[in-house]
Amino acid sequence: MNWYSLPTYYDVSFSHEMREELLFLQNIINRYSKSDSPSLIEPACGTGRLIIPLSRNGYDCAGFDLNEHALSYLKDKLNRNQLKANIFHGDMTNFNSKRKKYDAAYCTVDTFRHLLSEKQAVQHLLNIAKSLKKNGIYILGLHLIPEQGISDKITRWTAKRGRLTVKTTMKMLKLDKDKRTETLQVILNPKTKKKNEKYESIYKLRTYTLKQFHKLLSNTDVFDVVSSYNHFYDLSKPITLNARSDYGVFVLQRKG
Ligand SMILES: C[S@@+](CC[C@H](N)C(=O)[O-])C[C@H]1O[C@@H](n2cnc3c(N)ncnc32)[C@H](O)[C@@H]1O
């Protein structure tokens, strides 16, 4: 079972400890946008765990995803909260922003790595650049493969919402540096007083070393890296990522 098709459980699980990430996104966007209500697009927005609070805080949000379960969960949630955002079905490689130009785009938590080939990654970056205003920014967050050693293979966390508790275990089953794929297993264990379920999801992500990521950027030649950060999302501490870095948040600015 694809965990993205279990939107309630995904949303509870991934909304865990996202305060810093949300504050960081807002502060960076406010720094680069001149608008009072910056227009944002989130490729592969899933359940809108970020779109909901950003819309509530006055941003003009749009988002798209391939997963219909996630999209209808998000649309219902927007309606219930009397919020508006432009949500549509679309693919990260060839979405159509209908000629609208955005102040910023953002895509964190490894979502970009769902694009398994270089060609798809290039198409995505070109498309995002095309959908941004002049000097618009793209905030991209992804795990990097350190040149030496491997980061933790298992991550576990527990998140709660009301009576629902969701335990998540994410495990790297295989890393193929030549094919540049990582195979991940996610076990979701949602629990209430009445139920205790378990869902397994296995999927592949493309891997990037810092060098490979920079090469992709220079091949596409549509973005400059204006700053970078690590998983602490601390705006006051931009860092220089290096061969040992295992998570990078890149603030990219559209060239020209
Ligand atoms: C880790 S989730 C991230 C969701 C959301 N961006 C967030 O931060 O919570 C990854 C999402 O990417 C979507 N996805 C994967 N490949 C995609 C593609 N080629 N185009 C659009 N969405 C895609 C999945 O359906 C899923 O909702």
CA–CA distance, 124 with 115 (Å, rounded to integer):
8
- Residue 133 and residue 103 in contact, taking contact as beta carbons nearer than 8 Å: yes
Evaluate: CB of 91 within 6 angstroms of ligand 1: yes
pTM to 2 decimal places:
0.96
Q: What are 171-182's pLDDT values in tens digits? A: 999 999 999 999
Distance from residue 46's CA to the centre of ligand 1 (Å): 5
Atom of ligand 1 nearest to the CA of 110: 1
Say if ligand 1 is within 6 A of residue 44 CB: yes
Q: Which of 135, 57, 133, 137 is nearest to 97 (CA)?
A: 133
Task: Count CA within 13 A, CB hemisphere, residue 254.
Answer: 23
For residue 156, give the DSSP letter: E
User: Would you give the DSSP letter of residue 177?
Assistant: T
Task: Please report the atom of ligand 1 found closest to the CA of residue 67.
Answer: 25
Ligand 1 centroid–CA 145 distance in Å is: 20
Name, in order, each residue with C-beta under 8 angstroms of 194's C-beta and a sequence gap of 6 or more: none
Ligand 1 contact, 129 CB (< 6 A): no
Give the residue whose CA is nearest to atom 12 of ligand 1. Answer: 44
Here the tokens at position 167 are 């335990």
Whether residue 98 is predicted with pLDDT greater than 80 in this model: the reply is no
Atom 27 in ligand 1: residue holding the nearest Cα? 46
Instruction: Give the pLDDT score at 35.
Output: 92
Token pair in block for residue 13: 């699980």
**pLDDT beyond 70 at 151:** no
| Mutation pick for ligand 1 pocket among 2, 3, 4, 24 (CB with most ligand atoms within 8 Å) | 4
Given a contact cutoff of 8 angstroms between Cβ atoms, the answer to whether 188 and 13 are in contact is yes
Which of 8-22, 87-101, 179-193, 220-234 is predicted with the least confidence, judged by mean pLDDT?
Answer: 87-101
Q: Does domain 154-206 have CATH number 2.20.25?
A: yes
Is any ligand 1 atom within 6 A of the Cβ of residue 229?
Answer: no
pLDDT of residue 252: 98
83 in helix, strand or coil?
coil
Closest atom, ligand 1, to C-alpha of 115 = 19
Residue 93 reports pLDDT greater than 80: yes
The per-residue pLDDT for 42 is 98
CATH architecture of the domain with range 3-145+208-254: 3-Layer(aba) Sandwich (3.40)
pLDDT band at residue 167 under the 50/70/90 scheme: very high
Domains of the chain, by residue range, sit at 3-145+208-254, 154-206
Q: Which residues contact 75 (CB under 8 A, 6 or more apart)?
A: 87
Kindly report, residue by residue over 207-252, the tens digit of the pLDDT: 999 999 999 999 999 999 999 999 999 999 999 999 888 899 999 9
Average pLDDT over residues 185-196: 96
Q: How far is the CA of 216 from the centre of ligand 1 (A)?
A: 20
Q: Is the CB of 22 under 6 A from ligand 1?
A: no
